[in-house]
Structure formats: structure tokens, C-alpha cells
């Protein structure tokens, strides 16, 4: 079997060119006589890799000079603790709850201080983004936290909340580099890279310099201090070298595609193909309110769990894999990250049309 169209939410599809290039360099990285996996993180050749990766990311996202870029381990979930341990000086933080990842982050922060839930979409199964134009931000809050793209529920903040002068902290794991961002709007942006950028096990943190300090909560481990990693250019200890190398290749690939403006255009086009079909389908329904829809994660249902399961099975046999919805919500979910080609989305819609014809709801026949 050749390569499939992989709609996994993460770890997820990577650009084929990147994988091919990495394969070519596997045994001998650019004349070094060794794989990137085998080389010292203190070597000149690796220094070039991490330096170029950071420079390319800065260029892609137009990151201002007074922000640090950190390549860290522990995935996105370790940030749920690192953020409060480093930033909760008053031991108060405001959280916007738009799904399970935000909820988990809030629960973790609750171990270190008082967490105020200042907006939530739990009342309708996280199927929309709540109005955040006039949030009851707490006077003594150290920051305002949101999960910008909700991987499980398929919602996205299309307009950032107004944090009323507090630093805005965003988990962008599943929308990282999918469209241009104004970094200056945030105090800290972070994302686990396995959704849209690279191999699992690394998180990229972009943090405004004035938020980095020695003054962290008592007991914060050395490895969990932003200052330690910032002072050491992410080389305090052995970093996830191979992940950094692959992410660097993805940054290069994104630049070749025309950067984030071009990605946004392409991602909008891909998402439109799928949503337009879903909105008129007699069998499949999208689950998210139109104004809150994600460009990256598209959940949908037939309303019948057996039909859902049959669809997922038959799609897989047709080379369209990992379409099963998150275990907590059921139905289907197509994750159509940067590296998913338009042809993949077209193939999915074409398969859905065929499936729909064969399994149209009985209402059509009861006329």
C-alpha cells in the first residue's frame, strides 16, 4: 500500500517533500557523515540547524525582537503547569473554557492558584466560541488564557478576546502556522508541534521577554523555568534535536509555499470544499456553528452511530484514514492541516458523496 490520506488530529500528516528530504539525509546529514539523531547538540552543524529553524520561524510569523522562541519538551500538556508556575505571580488567572484542552489547562493551573472561568461554551457541548468582547477580567489576574483552536470540537477563535491589558496566553497547538498571526497581541503563544508542524514530543513557546523572570513559584523545577531555557537558547540540556530538525524543514517548506498568507488561502479553500458539501448533505451534518468553525479540524456526524462506524470503516478501506471522531464526542472528524493537500479533501468529499448516495436517509424514500 502506498501513502494514504491521513486525517489524524495528531500526530498528523507531514509534507511529503519534508519526509523525503529527511530520508535522503538519514545516514549522512549534509556531509557530516552521520544522522542528525547521532550528532552532538553542541556541534557547529546542529547549531546551524537550530539557528536556522528559529530564524525561519521568526520570519514566517514575523515575531518581534522582544519575544523569545523556545523549543521545549513535554508536549503542550507540560505548558499547562509551566504557564502558572512561571506567570502566576498573584496566584490568580482567568481562563476561557472552549473545550477539553482549555479545561485541562485550567485544572492544572488550579493547583497553583485561583482560576476564574470568565467565559465558557460548555453549555452547548463546546460547539461555538463564546462572545469574548467584554470579558469580566479579574483585576488581579496574572493573565488571560485561551485555547485558540479546539482540536476536539472543531471551533476556532476568529477574533481574539480583549484581555483588558492582561497578557493573553494562547494554546495554538492545532492552528500553529495555519494563517498569519499578530504575535504582539499575545504575552505567550505555544503549541505542541505534532498537530501541524512536526513529530510529537516538542512544544514551541513564543514568549514576550518581560514575562520571563527568575521570580517563579517556589518549587518550580529548573527544567520548567522559561528563563533557564531562554538564557540557554533552548540548549540548557539536550533538546529534542531531531524534532527541531524536522520542524525546521517544515518551516522551509512553508516559506516555499509562500508563507502564512498563502497557507491561509489554501486552508480556507480546503475547508470551504468540505463545509460546503457538509452544509448541503442529506446524510452528514457539521456540528459547529458556522461563525466558529475551524479551518483545521472539521467534525461531522450522520446522527446514527452505526452509520458513522460504517463510514469510518469504508473510508479507511478507500485510503482515507483516521476519520473517527474523538473518543469523547463520537462521529467523525477530518483534520485538514497544512500538509493535507487539496486533493485529499476532494477525495474525501467525493467518497462522502458516493457513501451518501448509498445510504441516504430514509426520509427521501418515505415521500
Ligand X SMILES: *Cc1c(COP(=O)(O)O)cnc(C)c1O
Tell me the catalytic residues: 101, 171, 195
Binding of ligand X by 12 (CB under 6 A): no
The single residue listed with the C-alpha cell 492552528 is 175
User: Which of 35, 77, 304, 307 is the binder for ligand X (CB under 6 A)?
Assistant: 77
Which residues have a Cβ under 8 Å from the Cβ of 234 and sit 6 or more positions away? 50, 69, 70, 71, 72, 244
Beta strands 5-6 and 320-321 are parallel
**Are residues 299 and 286 in contact, defined by beta-carbon separation less than 8 angstroms?**
yes
User: Which of 4, 32, 73, 75 is the binder for ligand X (CB under 6 A)?
Assistant: 75
Question: Which of residues 154 and 192 has its CB atom nearest to ligand X in the complex?
Answer: 192
Is 259 in a helix, a strand, or coil? Answer: helix
Give the range of 73-81, 108-116, 257-265, 351-359 binding ligand X by CB under 6 A: 73-81
Site for ligand X in 96-125 (CB under 6 A): 101
Binding of ligand X by 151 (CB under 6 A): yes
Number of residues that bind ligand X (CB under 6 A): 12
Instruction: Measure the CA–CA gap between 171 and 191, rounded to whole angstroms.
Output: 6
* Nearest residue relative to ligand X (C-beta): 75
- Tell me the three cell numbers of residue 51: 539557528
**Are residues 169 and 144 in contact, defined by beta-carbon separation less than 8 angstroms?**
yes
Question: Which of residues 205 and 352 has its CB atom nearest to ligand X in the complex?
Answer: 205
Helix axes 44-61 and 241-257, enclosed angle (nearest 10): 40
Minimum distance from CB of 279 to ligand X (Å)? 25
Minimum distance from CB of 4 to ligand X (Å)? 21
Give the range of 65-73, 170-178, 328-336, 356-364 binding ligand X by CB under 6 A: 170-178
**Are residues 348 and 333 in contact, defined by beta-carbon separation less than 8 angstroms?**
no
Minimum distance from CB of 174 to ligand X (Å)? 4
Minimum distance from CB of 224 to ligand X (Å)? 14
Minimum distance from CB of 203 to ligand X (Å)? 6
Binding of ligand X by 211 (CB under 6 A): no
Is 207 in a helix, a strand, or coil? Answer: strand
Instruction: Measure the CA–CA gap between 277 and 233, rounded to whole angstroms.
Output: 46
Question: Which of residues 147 and 211 has its CB atom nearest to ligand X in the complex?
Answer: 147
Give the range of 70-78, 207-215, 298-306, 335-343 binding ligand X by CB under 6 A: 70-78
Minimum distance from CB of 83 to ligand X (Å)? 12
Instruction: Measure the CA–CA gap between 337 and 343, rounded to whole angstroms.
Output: 13
Question: Which of residues 36 and 175 has its CB atom nearest to ligand X in the complex?
Answer: 175
- What are the φ and ψ backbone dihedral angles of 161, each rounded to 5 degrees? -65, 155
User: Which of 171, 242, 278, 355 is the binder for ligand X (CB under 6 A)?
Assistant: 171
User: Which of 98, 127, 173, 294 is the binder for ligand X (CB under 6 A)?
Assistant: 173
Site for ligand X in 220-239 (CB under 6 A): none
Instruction: Measure the CA–CA gap between 367 and 314, rounded to whole angstroms.
Output: 29
Binding of ligand X by 192 (CB under 6 A): yes
Question: Which of residues 39 and 87 has its CB atom nearest to ligand X in the complex?
Answer: 87
Question: Which of residues 36 and 296 has its CB atom nearest to ligand X in the complex?
Answer: 296
Question: Which of residues 151 and 243 has its CB atom nearest to ligand X in the complex?
Answer: 151
Binding of ligand X by 76 (CB under 6 A): yes
Binding of ligand X by 319 (CB under 6 A): no
Torsion of Cα atoms, 50 then 53 then 56 then 61, to 10°: -110
Count other C-beta atoms under 10 Å from residue 173's C-beta: 27
Residue 180 DSSP code: -
Cα 277 → chain centroid = 24
Instruction: Give the angle subtended at the CA of 168 by the CAs of 167 and 169, to the nearest 5°.
Output: 115
Nearest-CA neighbor of 243 among 175, 197, 207? 197
User: Which of 81, 147, 177, 206 is the binder for ligand X (CB under 6 A)?
Assistant: 147
Residues that bind ligand X (CB under 6 A): 10, 75-77, 101, 147, 151, 171, 173-174, 192, 195
Amino acid at each position: 500500500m502506498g501513502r494514504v490520506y491521513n486525517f489524524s488530529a495528531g500526530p498528523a500528516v507531514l509534507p511529503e517533500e519534508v519526509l523525503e528530504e529527511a530520508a535522503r539525509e538519514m545516514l549522512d546529514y549534509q556531509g557530516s557523515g552521520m544522522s542528525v539523531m547521532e550528532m552532538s547538540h553542541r556541534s557547529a552543524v546542529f547549531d546551524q540547524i537550530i539557528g536556522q529553524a528559529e530564524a525561519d520561524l521568526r520570519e514566517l510569523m514575523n515575531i518581534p525582537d522582544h519575544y523569545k522562541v523556545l523549543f521545549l519538551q513535554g508536549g503542550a500538556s507540560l505548558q499547562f503547569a509551566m504557564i502558572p508556575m512561571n506567570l502566576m505571580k498573584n496566584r490568580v488567572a482567568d481562563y476561557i473554557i472552549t473545550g477539553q484542552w482549555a479545561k485541562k489547562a485550567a485544572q492544572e493551573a488550579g493547583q497553583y492558584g485561583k482560576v476564574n472561568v470568565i467565559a465558557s461554551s460548555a453549555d452547548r457541548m463546546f460547539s461555538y466560541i463564546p462572545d469574548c468582547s467584554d470579558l469580566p477580567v479579574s483585576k488581579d489576574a496574572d493573565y488571560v488564557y485561551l485555547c485558540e483552536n479546539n482540536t476536539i470540537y472543531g471551533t476556532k477563535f476568529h477574533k481574539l478576546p480583549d484581555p483588558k491589558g492582561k497578557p493573553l496566553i494562547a494554546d495554538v497547538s492545532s492552528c500553529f502556522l495555519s494563517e498569519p498571526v499578530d504575535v504582539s497581541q499575545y504575552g505567550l503563544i505555544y503549541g505542541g508541534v505534532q498537530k501541524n508542524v512536526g513529530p510529537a514530543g516538542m512544544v514551541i513557546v513564543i514568549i514576550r521577554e518581560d514575562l520571563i523572570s527568575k521570580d517563579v513559584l517556589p518549587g518550580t523545577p529548573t527544567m520548567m523555568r522559561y528563563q533557564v531555557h531562554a538564557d540557554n537558547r533552548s540548549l540548557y540540556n539536550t533538546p529534542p534535536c531531531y524534532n527541531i530538525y524536522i520542524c525546521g524543514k517544515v518551516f522551509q517548506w512553508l516559506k516555499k509555499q509562500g508563507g502564512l498568507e498563502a497557507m491561509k488561502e489554501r486552508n480556507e479553500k480546503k475547508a470551504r470544499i468540505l463545509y460546503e458539501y457538509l452544509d448541503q448533505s442529506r446524510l452528514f451534518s457539521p456540528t459547529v456553528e458556522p461563525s466558529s468553525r475551524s479551518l483545521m479540524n472539521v467534525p461531522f456526524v450522520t446522527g446514527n452511530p452505526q452509520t458513522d462506524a460504517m463510514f469510518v470503516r469504508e473510508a479507511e478501506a478507500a485510503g482515507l484514514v483516521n476519520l473517527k471522531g474523538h473518543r469523547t464526542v463520537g462521529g467523525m472528524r477530518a483534520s485538514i492541516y497544512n500538509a493535507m493537500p487539496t486533493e485529499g479533501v476532494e477525495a474525501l468529499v467525493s467518497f462522502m458523496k458516493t457513501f451518501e448516495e448509498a445510504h441516504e436517509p430514509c426520509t427521501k424514500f418515505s415521500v
